Every structure is written in structure tokens, then in C-alpha cells.
């Protein structure tokens, strides 16, 4: 009898335990459903069911625990990522919320998702530092935070994620040095941290990442020399260390990276000679060492690189004879040796079309000196194409892939199909604007890089005016190298497609931001003053540092583009022209109405002072928040004496309270008024404006609230 009682008690205990477990499990399921339901992200909800496991983007297991969230490309922002209670979703295996318009910071609760293997929050507007709790996600294989506004250092706890295969922190505002703990992530095959504000040396611990195939540290302020340990990364096919502050010589260990197809070390301060070991990289397709301090001779064993399509050694200090394989070989697409004054027999450049030019003319990075030779070739082939009426559909895709439609970029080779696929054959959904002679599209490439593609419409391709503008823009941007001028990565000229590929500007044009009531407030006085400085330095460079000088001729708020940090960039060089001091520079009136210098209507003579006037108009527009048309008219009348500075500044912003900010605002208005003087001879040069920004102009004697435009107009600079 005692045994029977004991057995009954045991059964009851088991039943009670199972019931408790089921109750707890049910409670957890309810909590997970509530976490989703209360997030406010209504896009998940199905009005026909309360079962959260059937909502769009939600994956559950048999026990109805949420194991995955996958949402992409939502058309409207859905709120802050903190609205989702992550601690209530402990079973999550993957969390993918790419292009969802998410804002705010990544919650510390992220550390509770210890089962997570994939975390993708790319292409949002996330801010603040990456929480150090991310180091708790030790099962992660894929971490993608690309294209946000994250700040602060990369947490060293990221070194705990030893199962990571893919890590992308590019296009943020991350600071400080690259943590040496990244060297513990020995399973990594893909590491991109480009387009940030990282400083310090490249840690030698990266040499432990022997499975890496892609390494991109470009567009940072990394300094010091390239560590010789980089030579241990023998699986690398893509290496980009461009646009940094690297010094020292290239390590000979680079020659160990025999699987490399793309090597970009451009825009640094690398010195020494080109190591002959580079000749070991027989799979190289693109080699860009431009804009450094490299000296010595060009190694003759580079002729071994039979697959090389682009060799850019421009803007260095190379000497000696140009090897015969460069002057005679026509298997390569482009050699650029320009701006190496000590080279003997220097051809400036060499463009070899080989057997591919019958279907496509593609020219990237051509020096201005022989650009017209390329134009002649282009026109000749254009006539041949027109006669043949050849269409891309008639050519097999396999033959076109990566060969006939290759476009050179800091990412290495961009295939023609990559552009077409990224824009879905230039679908209107990817269109972000319409320019003077084409539409602009946003394209994300397979490498993760985002570029802007300006495409001429079919009707415009056959129009000579647009064709001239297209070629003129390439001609101008090829020789311009300034941080506040939009970079041209390449272009394609074909009988069906003609487009240019630019650096992508996340925030669009200055005009569009000033026209938006919300975004205009984001452009505070400090940012507006900085944009003024960006424009001034860029135009000073064009007018005074380029030989011959370049006149833009269409400076307007639509042609000032802003990046994610709201830095200003001068764009759209379709109407630009070189200024010949020995000619009358007579021209047709081009430009945007409201920004054109008044003397052009009478004299038809273009000078750099025409750009100065347009710059002054844009400067005023930046500070008052709208085009200053009526204000400019008033300045030439007696009404000017009654116009107070405080009354014309953008009313959407509070008047500056900080004394230095107030001085800067006054300074900008003063310089802008000088630039729009009706007499071109009385306007300052852009160089003078640029220099003035580096000095101090006496603050007007009147207090800020009492300053009139008349007082500023007559104050000496």
C-alpha cells in the first residue's frame, strides 16, 4: 500500500512539473506575441488572424516561439528599433531588418539574443555607439550594420564573436582605432569597415584572419605603414586600403596574395618603390596605386600580369623608362601614368581597345591631355555601331559578363550587369532625381558599396547637346581631385546605355533639404556655415589650382550635394569649361535661372567671376533658407538700409546664441554680399574668399540684433 501511495505521489509531481513547464512555455509564447504586437510595427499584423506566427516576416518553431524576423525594403520609416522588446524574444536565430527606415540606437538588450546567428540592421538611420553587449552574441556568423549613422568606437568585445564569417560596419561614423581584438575572428571571410572616421594604424593582428577573401578599410583616416602581416591573408581576392593616411613603403609580402584580383592603395602617402613581388599577383585585374609618393622605376615584371585591365600609377614620383609592355601592349584596357614628371618616354596614358571595342567604348581615368584622342575613337566606333544597329540583347550574356561591360571603380571591377541588376534595368523605384540631361539612380553593388548612376534617356543619347554634356562631365571630373567635389568612379558609353557612376550622396541636394521643413531644421547654423566653406574651397581649387582653370558655370543649390555628415560637394559638371586666358571665352548663356551672373546677358563672356556670383547666391540661399531673388533686388535699392540681418535669416532656426556661431553667420552673409556685387571686378576671387575663411574679419560694431545688410554690404573685408 505504501508503494502505491509513493507511486501516485511521484506521478502527481511529474504531472505538476509538466503543467508548470507548459504554463511557463505558454507564458513565453504570449510574451513574444506581445513584444511583436506592442512594437507598433503594424506591417507585421494580419487583420484576419491573431496568430503572430502567421504574420509577414515572422518565423516560428513548432512550439510557436519566434525564431526569426526577416523584413526588408519597407517603403516608409517604421519607428525606432527600441520599440521591439528584444529581451522577450530569447529564441531568435536571425534578425534581419534591412532598409526599414529604423532610427534610434541599438538597445543594450541585443545581448540577450544569445541564439542569434544573423543580425542585419543595414541601410537604416541607426545612431549612437554599437553597444558592447553585442559581444554576448557568440553564435553570430553574420553581422551587417552597413549604411547607418552609428558613432563611437568599434567595441573591443566584438572580438568574442569568433564564429563570424561576414562583418560589415561600412558607411557609418565610427571613430577611434580598429580594435586589435578583430584578429581573433579567424573564421571571417568578409571584413568591410570603409567610409568611417577610423584612425590609428592597421592592427597587425589582421594577419591572423587567414580565411579573408574581401578586406576593405578605405575612406578612413588610418595611418602608419601597411603591416607586413597582410601577406598571410593568402585567400584575399579583394583588398582596398584607399583614401587614408597610410605612409611607409608597400611591404613585399603583398606578393604573397596570389589570389588577388583587385588591389587599391590609392589616395594615401605611401612612399618607396613598387615591390617587384607585385608581379606574383597573376590574377590581378585592377591595380590602383595612384595619388601617393611612390618613386623609382616601374617594375618590368608587371608584364606578367596578363589579366590586368587597369593599371593606375598616376600622381606619383615615378622615374626611369616606361616599360615596353605598357607602350606596346593592347591586351589591357587602361594605363594611367600621368603626373609622373620624371618618367622618360612618358605617354601620358595608354588606352588599348583590343578585340572588345567592337561592342563597347569604355574609358575610365583618362588624363585631359589626350582626351580628344579618345573622343575621336569614340565617335568612330559610334558611327560603326549606328550602321550595325547592334543591340545588347543580340550578344550572349556569358560573353558580356565582366569583359565587354567592365567599369573601373575603387571597388575593383563593376560588371555592366551589376549596374543593371542593382537598378532592375533602371526601374523608376531606384530613381532618386532627375538632372539636366538624365535621371539619377541609387545602385547597391554586390560588394555592398552604394553608388549613384546618372543615365541618359534613350531620346537624349541621340541628341548631340546631351552627348557633349556627358563627355564634358567626364572630361572635367577626370582631372579634378578635391574632397568636396563629387567623385566620378566611371562611365559607360554604349548604343543603348550611357551612364556615369558617382560617389553616392546620402542626403541629396542642398535645395531639397532647404525645401523640407523638417530637414531644414537639421541644417543648423554650424552645418550651414560648414557647407559654405566646403563650396568655397572646392571652387577655389577649380579656379586657382587647376591648370587651366575650370569654370563650373552652373553653381546652384541643386548642384550642391550633401553626404551623410551633411558635408557639401559640388556636382554636375556637364556645362563646365576650361578657361583659356588667351581667348575671349565667349559662350552661350548656360546655367540655372536665378543664379546666372547679370553681365553674361550682355557680354556673353564667361569668367571665373560668373561662378563667384552664383556662389554668392547659393550662400545667401543657404542662410536665409530660400532663393534670395527679392532680397538681391532690394540690395540694389535704398531699401537696403532698412533690412536687418535678423529679419532675413531662416526663421525655422533660432537666432544664433553662441558668439562664435553668430560671428560665423555674419561672416558668411558679408562674403556672400561681396560675391553678388553687380560689377564683376568688385567681386572677390574664390581664392580670396577661401583665404578669408582662414582669417578673422572684425565683427561689426553693432550688436547682432542691430546689424543691417547695408552695414555688411559696405564693410571692408
Average pLDDT over residues 471-483: 69
CB 638 within 8 A of CB 708: no
Q: Is 554 among the catalytic positions?
A: yes
Task: Say if residues 194 and 172 touch (Cβ distance below 8 Å).
Answer: no
Give the position of cell 552627348. 467
Per-residue confidence (pLDDT) for residue 188, from 0 to 100? 95
Report d(CA 487, CA 124) in Å as an integer: 24
> Among residues of the chain, what percentage have pLDDT more than 90?
38
Query: Which cell numbers in the block locate residue 624?
Result: 536665409
Mean pLDDT, the chain, rounded, equals 78
Phi first, then psi: give them for residue 105, nearest 5 degrees. Answer: -100, 160
Mean pLDDT of 524-553: 88
Answer whether 0.85 is exceeded by the pTM: no
Contact 170, 144 (CB under 8 A): no
| pLDDT band at residue 21 under the 50/70/90 scheme | very low
Angle at 630 between CA 628 and CA 633, to 5 degrees: 105
552: closest CA among 616, 621, 606, 514? 606
| Residues in contact with 53: Cβ distance below 8 Å, sequence separation at least 6, in sequence order | 59, 60, 64, 66
Neighbours of 661 (CB within 10 A): 15
pLDDT at 136: 95
More confident residue, 580 or 599: 599
Q: How does pLDDT run across 323-356, given as a tens digit for each residue?
A: 877 766 544 457 788 888 788 765 444 343 333 3
Whether the pLDDT of residue 707 is over 50: the answer is yes
Contact 151, 129 (CB under 8 A): yes
Q: How many CB atoms are closer than 10 A to CB 497?
A: 20
Tell me what pLDDT residue 495 has. Answer: 57
Rounded (5°) CA angle 309-310-312: 165
- Please check the confidence at residue 232 and state whether its pLDDT lies above 60: yes
Q: Residue 79 — pLDDT band, cuts 50, 70, 90?
A: confident
| Per-residue confidence band for 87, with pLDDT thresholds at 50, 70 and 90 | confident
47, 124, 49, 42: which is closest to 84 by C-alpha?
42
pLDDT at 717: 67
Give me the pLDDT at residue 373, please: 41
Domains present along the chain, CATH in parentheses: 47-198 (3.80.10.10), 404-503 (3.30.200.20), 508-714 (1.10.510.10)
Cβ–Cβ under 8 Å, residues 547 and 441: no
Local structure of 595: helix, strand or coil: coil
Write the CA distances from 488 to 121, 155, 394, 410, 482, integer angstroms. 29, 34, 30, 10, 11
What are the start-end ranges of the E strands in 506-615? 550-551, 560-562, 568-570, 577-578
What's the pLDDT band for 83 if we cut at 50, 70, 90?
confident
Q: Which of 156-170, 305-319, 417-431, 485-499 has the highest mean pLDDT?
A: 156-170
Q: What is the DSSP letter of 404?
A: I
Q: Write down the pLDDT at residue 567.
A: 93
Q: Does residue 548 have a cis peptide bond before it, meaning omega lies within 30 degrees of 0?
A: yes
pLDDT at residue 696 in the model: 62
pLDDT score of 671 more than 60: yes
Kindly state the cell numbers that stand for 297: 622605376
Do the Cβ atoms of 648 and 631 come closer than 8 Å?
yes
Q: Taking the alpha carbons of 464, 470, 472, 475 in that order, is the dihedral positive or negative?
A: negative
The string of pLDDT tens digits covering residues 88-103 is 888 899 998 887 888 8
> Tell me: the pLDDT tens digits for 47-67?
456 777 877 788 888 888 888
355: left (phi over 0), alpha (psi -120 to 50) or beta: alpha
571 vs 368: CA distance, rounded Å: 19
- Residues 188-201 have pLDDT tens digits of 999 999 989 999 99
Q: Which of 120, 216, 554, 572 is catalytic?
A: 554
Between CA 596 and CA 552 the distance in angstroms is 12
Lowest mean pLDDT among 253-267, 633-647, 672-686: 633-647
Of the candidates 36, 122, 43, the residue with the CA atom closest to the CA atom of residue 76: 43
Pick out the residues of the known binding site for ATP: 455
Q: Could you read off the pLDDT of 357-397 as tens digits, one per residue? A: 322 333 333 444 344 444 434 444 443 333 333 333 322 22
pLDDT tens track for 481-496: 788 988 877 777 665 6
Amino acid at each position: 500500500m505504501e508503494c502505491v501511495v509513493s507511486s501516485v505521489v511521484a506521478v502527481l509531481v511529474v504531472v505538476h512539473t509538466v503543467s508548470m513547464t507548459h504554463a511557463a512555455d505558454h507564458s513565453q509564447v504570449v510574451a513574444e506575441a506581445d513584444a511583436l504586437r506592442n512594437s507598433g510595427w503594424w506591417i507585421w499584423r494580419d487583420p484576419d488572424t491573431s496568430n503572430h506566427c502567421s504574420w509577414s516576416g515572422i518565423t516560428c518553431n513548432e512550439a510557436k516561439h519566434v525564431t526569426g524576423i526577416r523584413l526588408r525594403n519597407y517603403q516608409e520609416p517604421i519607428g525606432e528599433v527600441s520599440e521591439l522588446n528584444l529581451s522577450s524574444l530569447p529564441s531568435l536565430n536571425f534578425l534581419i531588418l534591412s532598409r526599414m527606415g529604423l532610427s534610434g540606437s541599438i538597445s543594450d538588450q541585443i545581448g540577450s539574443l544569445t541564439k542569434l546567428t544573423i543580425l542585419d540592421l543595414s541601410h537604416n538611420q541607426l545612431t549612437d555607439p554599437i553597444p558592447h553587449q553585442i559581444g554576448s552574441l557568440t553564435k553570430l556568423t553574420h553581422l551587417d550594420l552597413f549604411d547607418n549613422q552609428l558613432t563611437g568606437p568599434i567595441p573591443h568585445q566584438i572580438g568574442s564573436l569568433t564564429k563570424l564569417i561576414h562583418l560589415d560596419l561600412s558607411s557609418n561614423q565610427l571613430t577611434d582605432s580598429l580594435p586589435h581584438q578583430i584578429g581573433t575572428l579567424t573564421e571571417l571571410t568578409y571584413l568591410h569597415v570603409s567610409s568611417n572616421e577610423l584612425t590609428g594604424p592597421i592592427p597587425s593582428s589582421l594577419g591572423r584572419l587567414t580565411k579573408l577573401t574581401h578586406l576593405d578599410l578605405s575612406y578612413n583616416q588610418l595611418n602608419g605603414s601597411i603591416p607586413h602581416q597582410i601577406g598571410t591573408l593568402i585567400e584575399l581576392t579583394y583588398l582596398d586600403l584607399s583614401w587614408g593616411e597610410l605612409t611607409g613603403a608597400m611591404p613585399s609580402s603583398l606578393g604573397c596574395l596570389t589570389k588577388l584580383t583587385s588591389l587599391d592603395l590609392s589616395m594615401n602617402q605611401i612612399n618607396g618603390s613598387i615591390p617587384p613581388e607585385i608581379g606574383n599577383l597573376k590574377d590581378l585585374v585592377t591595380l590602383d596605386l595612384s595619388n601617393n609618393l611612390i618613386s623609382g622605376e616601374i617594375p618590368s615584371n608587371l608584364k606578367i600580369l596578363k589579366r590586368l585591365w587597369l593599371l593606375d600609377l598616376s600622381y606619383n614620383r615615378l622615374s626611369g623608362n616606361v616599360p615596353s609592355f605598357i607602350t606596346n601592349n593592347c591586351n589591357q584596357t587602361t594605363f594611367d601614368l600621368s603626373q609622373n614628371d620624371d618618367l622618360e618616354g612618358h605617354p601620358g596614358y595608354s588606352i588599348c581597345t583590343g578585340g572588345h571595342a567592337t561592342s563597347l567604348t569604355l574609358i575610365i581615368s583618362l588624363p585631359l591631355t589626350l582626351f580628344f584622342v579618345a573622343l575621336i575613337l569614340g565617335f568612330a566606333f559610334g558611327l560603326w555601331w549606328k550602321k550595325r544597329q547592334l543591340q545588347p540583347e543580340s550578344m550572349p550574356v556569358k560573353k558580356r559578363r565582366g569583359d565587354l561591360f567592365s567599369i573601373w571603380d575603387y571597388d575593383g571591377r563593376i560588371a555592366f550587369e551589376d549596374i543593371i541588376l542593382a537598378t532592375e534595368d533602371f526601374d523608376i523605384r531606384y530613381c532618386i532625381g532627375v538632372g539636366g540631361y538624365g535621371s539619377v539612380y541609387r545602385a547597391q553593388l554586390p560588394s555592398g558599396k552604394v553608388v549613384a548612376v546618372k543615365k541618359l534617356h534613350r531620346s537624349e543619347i541621340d541628341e548631340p547637346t546631351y552627348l557633349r554634356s556627358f563627355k564634358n562631365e567626364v572630361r572635367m571630373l577626370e582631372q579634378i581631385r578635391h574632397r568636396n567635389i563629387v567623385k566620378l568612379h566611371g562611365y559607360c558609353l554604349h548604343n543603348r546605355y550611357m551612364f556615369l557612376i558617382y560617389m553616392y550622396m546620402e542626403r541629396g541636394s542642398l535645395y531639397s533639404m532647404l525645401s523640407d521643413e523638417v530637414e531644414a531644421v537639421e541644417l543648423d547654423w554650424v552645418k550651414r556655415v560648414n557647407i559654405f566653406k566646403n563650396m568655397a574651397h572646392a571652387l577655389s581649387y577649380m579656379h586657382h589650382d587647376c591648370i587651366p582653370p575650370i569654370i563650373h558655370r552652373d553653381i546652384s543649390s541643386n548642384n550642391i550635394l550633401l553626404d551623410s555628415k551633411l558635408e557639401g560637394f559640388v556636382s554636375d559638371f556637364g556645362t563646365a569649361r576650361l578657361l583659356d586666358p588667351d581667348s575671349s571665352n565667349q559662350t552661350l548663356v548656360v546655367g540655372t535661372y536665378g543664379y546666372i551672373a547679370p553681365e553674361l546677358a550682355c557680354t556673353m563672356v564667361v569668367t571665373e567671376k560668373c561662378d563667384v556670383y552664383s556662389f554668392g547666391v547659393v550662400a545667401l540661399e543657404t542662410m536665409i533658407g530660400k532663393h534670395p531673388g527679392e532680397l538681391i533686388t532690394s540690395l540694389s535699392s535704398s531699401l537696403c538700409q532698412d533690412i536687418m540681418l535678423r529679419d532675413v535669416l531662416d526663421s525655422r532656426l533660432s537666432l544664433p546664441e553662441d558668439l562664435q556661431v553668430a560671428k560665423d553667420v555674419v561672416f558668411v552673409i558679408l562674403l556672400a554680399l561681396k560675391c553678388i556685387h553687380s560689377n564683376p571686378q568688385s567681386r572677390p576671387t574664390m581664392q580670396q574668399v577661401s583665404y578669408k575663411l582662414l582669417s578673422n574679419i572684425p565683427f561689426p560694431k553693432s550688436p547682432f540684433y542691430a546689424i543691417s545688410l547695408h552695414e555688411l554690404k559696405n564693410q571692408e573685408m
